[in-house]
Structure formats: structure tokens, C-alpha cells
Structure 1
């Protein structure tokens, strides 16, 4: 069975532990079918206890018209503490779909964003490139990272790619120039994004070589671009970085989200060659999210350890792995009970925090590596404050 075939029966599982594991596994996987997104989105509004997790973990996925219609129908009646998460999903709209539903969405999208959508749909090549240059300049001149501006710049870059207004040679020239500098500019990072959109395989070795850079914005785009290829060539080029402390977090994320037998084998080998506790836990989690029986030896070995990192919910992860793959284990019920105790504790904490503030935030001591970072950066904890 393929990865998608394995997770499909569990997308809206009544077992909250299993569904959480599926949501973690699909968060960075770029090829989730649109119908799966639509099913999850409807479940989020049908069962409010699942709403927070679902809205957070589908935030990287594109929305079709059916999904937009679901949001239009349900956002007005949402609990205010989660409304921002639903509105955030609108960043994944295609510009033409956004304009089609503008009357219903106007209250949720800033005026300058509507101007951008109009430009992306009707603008000339010269106008689009002018906007691209303006946004890149804003990013470069800002004192801190401007997330909203970066999202707009990526939308403009996607428009340039979609219209065939950039060539492989032009991207090559930009990347080669960036490699000579100690830091990538935002133009360089956006060209990495365009490499992923175009799936330019010649750049795979170059992208992999960037995994030990100390620039999280760049590393996010490098990871996304490499995952898009879904190829064993990526696995081969990335696997050396699974052995390096400075690159294992992003390297493991890349290999975890490439669903091939070689990816499983690479994670298994890296696990056996790693002695550092946090790295072993991270590789264990990546292996579990492959949902492959071939990973069973390492997963079984890991559960014989006495100590685990506090950053990974080991019991939930292993319980969900065995349940989804369909394997029996004498400790399965014990794992489930331990994980449910923590889940119930988290829910109690969230309810208490809701009384004190508008948006419930998971207690930092309980945050998982795949959860949104409590600092509010929008990144996964393992790629932000959990590094």
C-alpha cells in the first residue's frame, strides 16, 4: 500500500491520537489530494474539538473552490479563538479563485492583498516583475523578517513561474551568485522556491548542499523544494546530512516526507549510526511517519530504551504507527493510555488558557517537535525554538 492509501482510512479517525499522528505526517507532504483536504476541513467544522489541530496542520496545502466555499460558510460562526487559523488558510488561495469569491471574502482579506490578486491575474510581465522587485526590496530593508511580505513575494514568484517568465538559465545565474555570498538574499531564497515549483532536477545536489546553512528561512524553502521532487536522488544527496548535528532537523524532515523505500532505508541507517538521544528520537519519529513495516526493527529497538527526549510524544507516535500499519504489540494499550493522559492534560491546559487569552497556546513543556512553536513564528517547534 502507498502512504496515501495507508492514511486515508484514518484522516477523520475517532481516535484523536491516530488522527493527530496523520495530521503531523501530512503537514509537510505536498501531494495530499484535494479531496483529503476538503474532508479534513469539513471535519474541523463538524467536530470542534478537532478544529484547532486540523486548521493548523493543513495550513501548507492548497485549497480548491470547495474548500473556499466551506470556509465562507463556517468562518462567521467560528469561535473567535480559532478564526485567525481559518483566515490564515486563505493565503493558499489561487488569485483567480480569490477574485471569484471576493464579495464573500472581502472582510477577511486586506485591501492590499486584493490589489495583489488583481495584479497577478491581469498584470503584464513588466508589472509583475516590478512588484516582485518592490517586495524583495522591502524584505531586504526590513529590520526583522516580514512574514506577510514574504508570502506575497512567493505568490508573485509563483505567478512568474506559471506564466513561463523565468528560465532555468536565469535561475542558475542567480543561484551561482548567491553561493558566493555568506548569506542568501531574499531573491536567492525565492529562486530556490521557484526551483521547487519547476522541479528542476539539476539543482538537487546544490539544494542538498545548503542543508547545513544557518538560515531558517532559506532552509524552509530548501526543504520544501527538495520534498517536491519525491525522488530517490534527493534521498541520496540528503542522507549525509542526517549524520550532522547542524543539519539533521531539516534533513530528517526532507527524507521523512519522501515516501520511497530508499527514504525508509536511509532513515534506518541514520538511526543505527546515531548515538545522540535527541537525534535518535527525531529519526524514530520520521520512521514512524513513513508508516512502513520495514522500519519496524528500529522502532522496536527504540521502544526498549529507558530515556526519551521530552520533545517527542513517544507513546502517541508509536501507538499510532502500530495502529495505522495494522500491527499488534503487547504494550499497545499501555502506550495509548499514557498518550491519552497527556492529551487530556493538554486539553485541560488549553481550556484554562482560553479563559485568560483569546488564543490557546500549548504549554511549552508539552509542545511536540511537529507542533507550531509557542513563540508565534508560525514554524514547527523543531525548526524554531526547539532546535
Structure 2
């Protein structure tokens, strides 16, 4: 039974803890079917308690026409504090599809966005390249990270890939030039993004070597690109970075999302070699998200410990792992209780938690994945707005 077959019965679960863990596990996994994405979009509006989590966690998955129609029908009735989450999904749809539904979507996107869609759908190669360069220049010159400009630049880059306007030789030239510099420009970062879109396997070792860079924007795109390959070659190249403090967060995310026996084995081996509690918790969470019984010895061993780092909600991850695989454990109910108390406290027990649900937060400045989230929730950035 593969990863999707294991999680499919739990993709929409009455157990909020299991639902959250499954959503977390599919957030960066690139090959969730349209059928499953549509089911989650429907559930988001059928069960409003799940709406926030679902809309956040499906943000990386493309929407088809059925999903777009659901959003168009449902947004007018949404809580105004959450409409930005649905609109963010609409802002990432394919240009020609957006233009097809422009009469229904016009009020949710600004004039600049519609101009971009018109350019991509009807502009020449030269016109699109000029827009790409304009956005790259804006990003490189800005004092702070410009989230909206970066999203637009990725849409332009994706269109260039779709149209076959980018060659391997051009990407090779950009990457080689960037490697000689102390840091990557936004053109370099966007070429990393295009490598993932094109699945250019010859770049796997180069991308893996970037995992110890100190640039979260670059690392996010490196991780996404590597995950898209769904290849054991990626596991082999990334494996050494599981043992380094400066790279384990992104390396664990990559290997966690390569759904293979070799990936599980790499995470198991790394668990026995690292010593920091943070690192061990990250690796156990990654193993839980593989939903493989091969990981059972390490997960059992880890839960015998008295203290956890607090970097991840370990009880929730392990409880869900056992429940989804139908495994027994004497502490299963205790883990569920601890995890549920934490979830309820976060959802309704603090003003900061309420603020998170009502205020859209973008990572406008550089925030470490282990740093406190700037939204004030009290959670690590990795486990909050950095999801």
C-alpha cells in the first residue's frame, strides 16, 4: 500500500488531530490527485472548524475548474476574517483558467494581477521575458522580501516553463554563475524553481549542496524542487544533510516527502546518529508522516523519553501515526489527550491564537524556521505561518 492509499481514508477525518497531521503530511507532497484536492475544498466549506487548516495546507496544490467553482460559490458566505485564504488560492490558478472565470473572480484580484494574466495568456515571449526581468529587478533591489512580487515572478517562471521558453543550457549557465557568488540572486532562486518544474535530474546533486545555505527563500525553493523529483537519487544526495544542525530542518522536509522505503531508512539511520532533541523530534515527525511500519522501532523508542524539544507536536504526530496504521500502544489515549488539550488551547485559549485565525501573515522579513512566529501565536515559525 502506497502513501496515498494509506492516507486516503483519513484525508477527511472526524478526528481533528488526525486531520491536521494528514494535512501537514500532504502540504508539500506534490502529487495529490485533483479528486482529493476537490474533496478537501468541499470539506473546508462543509465543516467550518476545519476551514482554516484545510485552506492553509492545500495552498501548494493546483486547483481545477471544479475547485474554482466551489470557491466562487462559497467565498461570499465565508467569515470575512478568513476570505484571504480562499482568495490566495485563487491568486495562484493557471492564467487561462483565471481569464475564463474573470467575471466571477474580478472582484477578488487587483488590476495588476489581471494585467499579468492577460500578458501571460496573450503576450509574446519577448514581452513575458521583459516582465520576468522587471520582477527580478524589483525583488533584488527591495530592502525587504516582497512576497507578492515573488509570487508573480514564480507564476511568470512557471508560464515560461509551460511554453518551453526556458532551456536546460540557459538554466545551467545561470546556476553556475550563481554558485560563484556568496548568495543567490532572485534570478538564481527562480531558476531553482524552474529546475523542479522541469524535473532536470542532472541538477539533483547541485540542489542538495545548497541545503546548508543561510537563505530561507532559496532553501524553500530548493526543498520544493527536490521533492518534485520523488526520486531515491534525491534521498541519497540529501541524506548527509540530515546530520547537520544548519540543514536538518529543510533536509528532513525533503526526505519526509520522498515516499519510498529508502527515504524511511535514511530517516531511521539519521535518528540514531543525531543527539540534539530538536533534531530527533524533527526526524520522528518526518517518520510519522511517511506512515510506514518500518519506522515503528524508532517511534516506539523515542516515545519512551521523558522530555521532548517542543519544536513539533510530537504526541499528535505519533498518535495519528498509530491510529492511521491501526497499531496499538498503551499510551495511545494519553498522547491523544495531551495533543487535544494543546490543540484546544491554541484554537480558543489565547487571544494570540484567535489573532492568528483573523490576520493574514506573510513572511515579509527573513525569519528562521526555529524562531518564534512573528504573528505572536507562541508556536515556532515552522509550525505556524511557515507551514
Instruction: For residues 36-64 of structure 1, give each alpha carbon's deviation from its aligned partner in whole angstroms, at most 9, with x where no partner exists.
Output: 11101110101111111111111111111
Note closer, same or farther for the CA distance 1:198–1:121 as it changes in structure 2 (3 Å cut).
same
Where does 1:104-253 land on structure 2 (aligned, <5 Å)? Answer: 104-253=104-253
Does structure 2 conserve the Cα–Cα contact (< 8 Å) formed by 1:264 and 1:292? yes
SS in 1 for 2:306: coil
Return the alpha-carbon distance in structure 2 between the equivalents of residues 191 and 132 of structure 1.
12
Say if 2:59 is the partner of 1:74. no
Return the alpha-carbon distance in structure 2 between the equivalents of residues 258 and 372 of structure 1.
28
Instruction: For residues 142-178 of structure 1, give each alpha carbon's deviation from its aligned partner in whole angstroms, at most 9, with x where no partner exists.
Output: 1111010011111111111111111101110000000
Does structure 2 conserve the Cα–Cα contact (< 8 Å) formed by 1:21 and 1:316? yes
Return the alpha-carbon distance in structure 2 between the equivalents of residues 240 and 28 of structure 1.
21
Does structure 2 conserve the Cα–Cα contact (< 8 Å) formed by 1:61 and 1:92? no
Instruction: For residues 219-239 of structure 1, give each alpha carbon's deviation from its aligned partner in whole angstroms, at most 9, with x where no partner exists.
Output: 000000000000000000000
Matched with 1:48 is: 48
Return the alpha-carbon distance in structure 2 between the equivalents of residues 204 and 59 of structure 1.
25
Matched with 1:26 is: 26
Matched with 2:83 is: 83
Q: TM-score, normalised by structure 2?
A: 0.93
Note closer, same or farther for the CA distance 1:330–1:371 as it changes in structure 2 (3 Å cut).
farther
Does structure 1 conserve the Cα–Cα contact (< 8 Å) formed by 2:178 and 2:185? yes
Note the aligned Cα RMSD (angstroms): 2.3
Does structure 2 conserve the Cα–Cα contact (< 8 Å) formed by 1:351 and 1:360? no
Return the alpha-carbon distance in structure 2 between the equivalents of residues 371 and 5 of structure 1.
35
Question: Offset at 1:34?
Answer: 1.0
Return the alpha-carbon distance in structure 2 between the equivalents of residues 373 and 356 of structure 1.
10
Question: Offset at 1:381?
Answer: 1.9
Return the alpha-carbon distance in structure 2 between the equivalents of residues 43 and 178 of structure 1.
44
SS in 2 for 1:12: coil
Question: Offset at 1:375?
Answer: 3.5
Q: TM-score, normalised by structure 1?
A: 0.93
Say if 2:325 is the partner of 1:325. yes
Return the alpha-carbon distance in structure 1 between the equivalents of residues 175 and 108 of structure 2.
36
Where does 1:266-281 land on structure 2 (aligned, <5 Å)? Answer: 266-281=266-281
Does structure 2 conserve the Cα–Cα contact (< 8 Å) formed by 1:284 and 1:299? yes
Does structure 1 conserve the Cα–Cα contact (< 8 Å) formed by 2:226 and 2:234? yes
Does structure 1 conserve the Cα–Cα contact (< 8 Å) formed by 2:92 and 2:155? no
Matched with 1:364 is: none
Matched with 1:59 is: 59
SS in 2 for 1:213: coil
Paired residues in the alignment total: 377
Does structure 2 conserve the Cα–Cα contact (< 8 Å) formed by 1:350 and 1:360? no
Instruction: For residues 267-299 of structure 1, give each alpha carbon's deviation from its aligned partner in whole angstroms, at most 9, with x where no partner exists.
Output: 000000011110000001000000000000100
Instruction: For residues 286-345 of structure 1, give each alpha carbon's deviation from its aligned partner in whole angstroms, at most 9, with x where no partner exists.
Output: 000000000001000000011101121121111100011111111111111111112222
Does structure 1 conserve the Cα–Cα contact (< 8 Å) formed by 2:75 and 2:83? yes
Note closer, same or farther for the CA distance 1:170–1:320 as it changes in structure 2 (3 Å cut).
same
SS in 1 for 2:209: helix
Return the alpha-carbon distance in structure 1 between the equivalents of residues 141 and 245 of structure 2.
32
SS in 1 for 2:63: coil
Which structure 2 segments of 5+ residues have no match?
362-368
Instruction: For residues 45-95 of structure 1, give each alpha carbon's deviation from its aligned partner in whole angstroms, at most 9, with x where no partner exists.
Output: 011111111111111111111111010000011001111111111132000
Return the alpha-carbon distance in structure 1 between the equivalents of residues 223 and 230 of structure 2.
12
Return the alpha-carbon distance in structure 2 between the equivalents of residues 374 and 34 of structure 1.
33
Note closer, same or farther for the CA distance 1:13–1:76 as it changes in structure 2 (3 Å cut).
same
